[in-house]
Amino acid sequence: MLKTLESLGDLRGKRVIVRADLNVPLDGTAITDDGRIRAALPTLSRLVEAGARVVVISHLGRPKGAPEDRYSLRPVVGRLGELLGQDVAFATDTVGQSAREVVAGLADGQVAVLENLRFNPGETAKDEADRLAFARELAELGDAFVSDGFGVVHRKQASVYELAQLLPAAAGELVGTEVAALRKVTEEPARPFVVILGGSKVSDKLGVIESLLAKADRILIGGGMAFTFLKAQGHEIGTSLLDGEQLETVKGYIAQAESAGVELVVPTDAVVAPAFAADAPATVVAADAIPADQMGLDIGPASTELFASKIADAETVFWNGPMGVFEFDAFAGGTRGVAAALADAPGYTVVGGGDSAAAVRILGFDESKFSHISTGGGASLELIEGKSLPGISILEEDTK
């Protein structure tokens, strides 16, 4: 069992450090998708109402352990304040003078955001001593710690793992919801249990395929990774994406699925183009007749209908990875069709974060039509795979 906010007792007047995931996509300083900020609101609002002095920490992007203007969390602060309905203070560093002054100036029920954690090399250091040293500096700013950045709980990082060892720690609302939703999918799923996997490479999902072959009733394969499956079946795939090093592994998966009675569904047609470009001329061809000079950029309309039919009677569905290059309108049909089938499905439907979650929002779907939309692609896959996640295990009741 995860430690919950209740385990921290009365938080009025206490400085509570919240590890959120505010790693939102930016166009310059404009936020293009505020989903992760909104996902942080239940925990932050609850702490505000409890009278805590809330210190929010997060990363954004992949800075190399030093400040970079393009990765500043400053644009996030305004939007967070709008959603919380109060001014949010901002510290221009993480553990320096600005952070200490901003935290010291907080009153009960007020919120501050500290600058990007990854501007400090200790956050992601491989050396445990370096991470611990940075975590100790962070811990000086708080009386308690709440882990609510699900997108990073699979990483052993200072603000995720070591900080939880230094302060009284608990899982936030988001992390609790994510773990419950994903365990519902893997531990005792209502059947039929259908898994939809997309994205570019088979190698990104080896562990999850291996795990789900023992659990799922049907596995639908789309996206760029589908072409490695088609190649493994002996089909020519033109210039489509091929994960050549995994061909023998994929052949093994196909045989394993057949032996286990798992229905493995690959596209029957594809939308192809001569180049990877939004304005490339799109053509629909049979999956076993892709021309040598064309690349597959989406599953085709017949495949979309086939996949929808395999989803329609599912009692549990887990989807991770788009069916094609949904950012280009000509190649968004497969992803749109699968999302629509999930939205209409009567069973328990989980969108496994990452590009799938982004697609749901970008393509304009009502998020309430899905049982759960995860905020963490990598974390959700590792949890589905059955791995122990450092940022979760450290919050379990029996770890301290």
Cβ atoms of 136 and 158 within 8 Å: the answer is no
Q: Is 142 a catalytic residue?
A: no
Selected catalytic residue, list 149, 321, 378, 391: 378
For helices 247-260 and 225-232, give the axis angle rounded to 10 degrees. 80
Q: Any idea what the Cα angle at residue 360 is, between residues 359 and 361, rounded to 5°?
A: 90
Which is it for strands 88-91 and 144-147: parallel, antiparallel or unpaired?
Answer: unpaired
Is residue 356 annotated as involved in ligand binding?
yes
Is residue 96 annotated as involved in ligand binding?
no
Spatial distance between the Cα atoms of 127 and 111, rounded to a whole number of angstroms: 31
Selected catalytic residue, list 36, 131, 218, 310: 36
Is residue 303 annotated as involved in ligand binding?
no
The tokens for 309 are 């039919």
Spatial distance between the Cα atoms of 308 and 326, rounded to a whole number of angstroms: 17
Is residue 36 annotated as involved in ligand binding?
yes
| Signed CA dihedral, 250, 255, 260, 264: sign only | positive
Is residue 22 annotated as involved in ligand binding?
yes
Selected catalytic residue, list 136, 201, 251, 361: 201
Is residue 85 annotated as involved in ligand binding?
no
Cβ atoms of 15 and 142 within 8 Å: the answer is yes
Is residue 353 annotated as involved in ligand binding?
yes
Is residue 336 annotated as involved in ligand binding?
no
Cβ neighbour number for residue 156 with a 10 Å cutoff: 17
φ, ψ of residue 264 to 5 degrees: the values are -105, 115
Is residue 21 annotated as involved in ligand binding?
yes
Selected catalytic residue, list 324, 354, 376, 377: 354
Is residue 60 annotated as involved in ligand binding?
yes
Is residue 371 annotated as involved in ligand binding?
no
Is residue 120 annotated as involved in ligand binding?
no
Q: Is 36 a catalytic residue?
A: yes
Is residue 155 annotated as involved in ligand binding?
yes
Is residue 327 annotated as involved in ligand binding?
yes
Is residue 398 annotated as involved in ligand binding?
no
Cβ atoms of 103 and 90 within 8 Å: the answer is no
For the annotated binding site for substrate, the residues are 21-23, 36, 59-62, 118, 155
Q: Residues marked as binding for ATP?
A: 205, 296, 327, 353-356
Active site residues per annotation:
36, 201, 354, 378
Annotated binding site: 21-23, 36, 59-62, 118, 155, 205, 296, 327, 353-356
